[in-house]
Structure 1
Amino acid sequence: MSSGILHEDGKIGTNEDFSGLAGLLESAISGVRASAASSTKIMLHLDQGGKNQLYTWYFGGLLKESPNLDFDVFGLSYYPMWHGTMEGLQYNLNYLATTYNKEVCVVETAYAWTTEDGDGEGNVFISGDEEVGGYPATVEGQFEFMNDLESIILNVPDDKGIGYFYWEPEWIPVEGGTYATSAGVAYKNDTVTPSNTWDNMTLFNFQGNALDSIKVLNKPCENLLTNISFEQNGITTSPSGWNVWTSDSSDENTVRTEYGDAYDGDYKLTFWDDKEYSCSVYKTYTNIPNGTYKFSIWAKTNGKQDVLQLYAKNYGGSELDTTIETSDINWNIFSIDKIVVTNHTLEIGVYSVAGANDWCNLDLAMLRKID
């Protein structure tokens, strides 16, 4: 839809004229609302999900022409080798959800599990796409991409990220196969060599056997943390669901929740003191299933602390740390991606050693079992 629909009537015109497109969408939506399926959610879908500039231009122009356009969901296509970075996708999803107060959904995505060619006719994903996409073209790399995508969607504020669709999971190479049936190709007066250029981005191997990565389609593992956005208790120095530690020299309110300028909801957790301080907020588990976990949290900070980091320890391996870097204007997400628990025990948290007036804000924490 990025150039409109049903050209020429619904084509976006010169000087960014969205009037034709807006009129067609208004009519189509009115038809749905007048039908027996009037409660059906209506989605508007664009490609290039990691490129916010396209979405601000497109929906800015469309909704200027039709401010009350009655739709429910923003749909985005996202392929990391073509459509921008994962960080760009997260930003765009968050922007759409918070700016327009609507749900968002990644309605088309995939990644390669190999660079081999199942039918010998070429593929759209080739070896150089691994570097751009950011993941190896292996079954494990495909699984890792989908897990990261799932986390991005779950991190959209106010639970407005509703899911994703994998395209096209079962399009394995078969004799004579192409993008359409022979009748469809003939109808378009097209001439194509029967081929499947998508056969290395399926969730099945070339023989039709399910890959291990297909387990990513199981129901997402729940967030094991509670009070994840520090919304409970109002303003407090003892947020429910968390343990707080401060050094003897710190004031009792060095760690506290504050109202306003939050990433998710109304409250955030703040580290601050007018003198040097050390503190942490953490959670300990003593009977969790062994497996691989991911811990993430959103943060803003002046970045001048001696130490400011996420950590994971007591899980059966060496302590893992991720530094929270300077982010004093926008919220950014920081994570520890592969915490392999082998003893049913885990402590995760955020630790700071800071000077006077150094500050950090935290919000929307997540701990999920990913494998």
Structure 2
Amino acid sequence: MNYIKGMDISSYQEMLDKGYEYFDEFGNTVDILDYAVEKGFNYARIRIWNSPSNIPESGGYCSLDETIKLAKRIKEIGIPYLLDFHYSDWWADPGNQNKPKDWEYLHGRELIDAVCEYTKDVLDTLADNDVSPSMVQVGNEIRCGMLWPDGSSEDFRTLAKLINAGIKGVRESKGGEAIQIMLHLDQGGRYHYYEKWFDAVMRNGVEDFDIIGLSYYPFWHGTYQDLDETLNKLEERYHKDLIIAEVAYAHKLGDDSLFGKGQERLGGLPASEDGQYEALKIISGIINGVNNNRGKGFFYWEPFMRADNSSSWGYCMGIVDSEGKPLKTLTMMNSSFPIGADEARNMYSKLRYSDDCSEPINGTNILLNSGFTNDLSNWNYNKSNNVNYKIEAIDDVEIFSFQSKGNVYFKLHQIVTIKETGDYSLVVEYKGDNTTGVCVKPYIELADYRREINIYPSDRIWTRGTLDISLEAGTQVDVGIEIDSPEIMGQIRNIGLYLRS
């Protein structure tokens, strides 16, 4: 297998339907797929949703009919493709693994058979159209399971049966023995999740797969060194080929909910054309350096998506600019990627990640036991059954540390009555995992309204969230932190409501 320089082009037809145009470096109009192959991309990735017509927001894209159409276009440009089964009518990711509407009431053997038959039928139809994929994903980012609630990762026995059903569907399809099978998780820089997950599914009978796929976004999934260590530990333990199934980096700042200053700080490189180029160079070299030649390449996620909304992926995460002109990552794809592992390690060793909690907090904290010195006294904590927590001293500071065993929602908060009118700041310091679906929100709630902000965390450095508000004496307020997330680990310290001086 040649080193894969892949592009997820699932939204290609949608972009054309919306009237977007693309250009080469000289300003000439081009078909972006032809141009991308000319510049060095050699593999495509496309997702398939069961019945997207059930979800109006999907626009009907990524159906089987749309998949056949796009697969034929891929055949015209002469490259192989990876077909990504979501087993859902719309997005499947760590925070969303919803059953298709047609399978909503299927359980047990009926659901297992449906997965197998659907997988086989799709692949047989593609074979009949002479556009079979070379590689198939059985599920998308399935660290937390698939086809919830049946296939939740809280029940690996059932999850393994559903995965094996998908694998069986691939193998029984026309030409299926030649198709490579990938199992794909998020959290590409966090080895402990992979070891736990693959040990569990393999212990429960999942064996017939060829590739471990990882999502790795540097602003979500750990440092470049974390990715490097994860890939090599996976190779040593499981002896499988490894592919970064999803990767991207911003070429400019967007909205804070997507890629703002916080994500830029965690990503280690500026949100710029050069920063994006450098990020992908590092990642390509890390993959290239996996032991025993097991690192097989990467897929850039939606490199040609376009959007005017600063909170949308296409606004800042693609490798064309807002006018459809190619950025350096695209024009240099053939000549710059992959670099060598030593060069990549030299590059990432020079990066520095800044802790934004060094500035002193001004004012008087009115919350009691804000540093957890008396365990959870004075705190309200609606503990979930799938969360374990402990108060532990780290560097002489008491920390609320937690780990969830699946999807989790909880609040840690106090209800207080304001004694003095003035300007206040809610301050929360947090450290922990990040991925698609993680919501960490410090909040202030009064009788008639609520204010909140998002923290975009890292598991390496502390991030401070601050909410400023004016409050009158006698007002009762509910203040704290709310977490709604797929399986994660996290730490909280120094929650305070400060009357500013």
- TM-score normalised to structure 2 length: 0.39
- 4+ aligned runs moved over 6 Å, structure 1: none
Question: 2:288–2:341: 8 Å Cα contact kept in structure 1?
Answer: no
Pair 94,42 (structure 1): closer, same or farther in 2 beyond 3 Å: same
Identify the match of residue 105 of structure 1 among 232, 243, 266: 243
Q: What are the equivalent positions in structure 2 for 1:231-270 lying under 5 Å apart?
A: none
- For 1:28 and 1:51, the matched residues in 2 are separated by 26
Superposition deviation, residue 8 in structure 1: 2.2
Superposition deviation, residue 40 in structure 1: 0.4
Q: Deviations over 1:246-282 (max 9, x none)?
A: xxxxxxxxxxxxxxxxxxxxxxxxxxxxxxxxxxxxx
Query: Residue 63 of structure 1 corresponds to which residue in structure 2?
Result: 202
Identify the match of residue 9 of structure 1 among 146, 150, 154: 150
Question: 1:124–1:198: 8 Å Cα contact kept in structure 2?
Answer: no
- For 2:338 and 2:303, the matched residues in 1 are separated by 24
Query: Residue 42 of structure 1 corresponds to which residue in structure 2?
Result: 181
Identify the match of residue 208 of structure 1 among 308, 321, 324: 324
Query: Residue 24 of structure 1 corresponds to which residue in structure 2?
Result: 162
Superposition deviation, residue 123 in structure 1: 5.2
Question: 2:214–2:244: 8 Å Cα contact kept in structure 1?
Answer: yes
Pair 206,76 (structure 1): closer, same or farther in 2 beyond 3 Å: same
Query: Residue 217 of structure 1 corresponds to which residue in structure 2?
Result: 333
Which letter does structure 2 place at the counterpart of 1:69? E
Query: Residue 268 of structure 2 corresponds to which residue in structure 1?
Result: 134
- For 2:153 and 2:338, the matched residues in 1 are separated by 42
**Number of matched pairs:** 207
Query: Residue 77 of structure 1 corresponds to which residue in structure 2?
Result: 215
Question: 1:44–1:71: 8 Å Cα contact kept in structure 2?
Answer: yes
Superposition deviation, residue 20 in structure 1: 0.3
Q: What are the equivalent positions in structure 2 for 1:50-199 lying under 5 Å apart?
A: 50-66=189-205, 69-115=207-253, 117=254, 124-173=258-307, 196-199=312-315
- For 1:10 and 1:108, the matched residues in 2 are separated by 23
Pair 134,222 (structure 1): closer, same or farther in 2 beyond 3 Å: closer
Q: Deviations over 1:31-51 (max 9, x none)?
A: 211111321000000001001
- For 2:337 and 2:183, the matched residues in 1 are separated by 28
Question: 1:122–1:197: 8 Å Cα contact kept in structure 2?
Answer: no
Which letter does structure 2 place at the counterpart of 1:296? D
Superposition deviation, residue 216 in structure 1: 4.4
Superposition deviation, residue 61 in structure 1: 1.1
Question: 2:231–2:290: 8 Å Cα contact kept in structure 1?
Answer: yes
Gaps of 5+ in 1: 178-193, 224-293, 298-332, 338-371
Superposition deviation, residue 128 in structure 1: 2.1
Q: Deviations over 1:116-160 (max 9, x none)?
A: x4xxx7650001222211111111111001001110000001111
Gaps of 5+ in 2: 1-141, 349-501
Superposition deviation, residue 63 in structure 1: 1.1
- TM-score normalised to structure 1 length: 0.51
Which letter does structure 2 place at the counterpart of 1:42? I
| SS at structure 2 position matched to 1:45 | strand
Question: 2:288–2:338: 8 Å Cα contact kept in structure 1?
Answer: no
- For 2:338 and 2:147, the matched residues in 1 are separated by 42
Query: Percent identical across equivalent pairs?
Result: 35
Question: 2:281–2:338: 8 Å Cα contact kept in structure 1?
Answer: no
Query: Residue 443 of structure 2 corresponds to which residue in structure 1?
Result: none
Q: Deviations over 1:61-113 (max 9, x none)?
A: 111111x5200000000011110011111111111122111100001111111
| SS at structure 2 position matched to 1:42 | strand
- For 2:289 and 2:147, the matched residues in 1 are separated by 35
Q: What are the equivalent positions in structure 2 for 1:303-314 lying under 5 Å apart?
A: none
Pair 222,295 (structure 1): closer, same or farther in 2 beyond 3 Å: closer
Identify the match of residue 296 of structure 1 among 315, 328, 342: 342
Pair 222,3 (structure 1): closer, same or farther in 2 beyond 3 Å: closer
Give the helix-richer structure, 1 or 2: 2
Superposition deviation, residue 197 in structure 1: 4.3
| SS at structure 2 position matched to 1:20 | helix
Question: 2:250–2:271: 8 Å Cα contact kept in structure 1?
Answer: yes
Which letter does structure 2 place at the counterpart of 1:99? R
- For 2:195 and 2:337, the matched residues in 1 are separated by 32
Question: 2:213–2:244: 8 Å Cα contact kept in structure 1?
Answer: yes
| SS at structure 1 position matched to 2:213 | strand
- For 2:347 and 2:295, the matched residues in 1 are separated by 22
Question: 2:305–2:313: 8 Å Cα contact kept in structure 1?
Answer: no
| SS at structure 1 position matched to 2:212 | strand
| SS at structure 2 position matched to 1:296 | helix
- For 2:151 and 2:335, the matched residues in 1 are separated by 38
Which letter does structure 1 place at the counterpart of 2:290? V
Query: Residue 321 of structure 1 corresponds to which residue in structure 2?
Result: none
Pair 31,219 (structure 1): closer, same or farther in 2 beyond 3 Å: farther
Q: RMSD of the alignment, in Å? A: 2.6
Question: 1:123–1:200: 8 Å Cα contact kept in structure 2?
Answer: no
Q: Deviations over 1:156-215 (max 9, x none)?
A: 0111111111112111225xx8xxxxxxxxxxxxxxxx9624411111111111112213
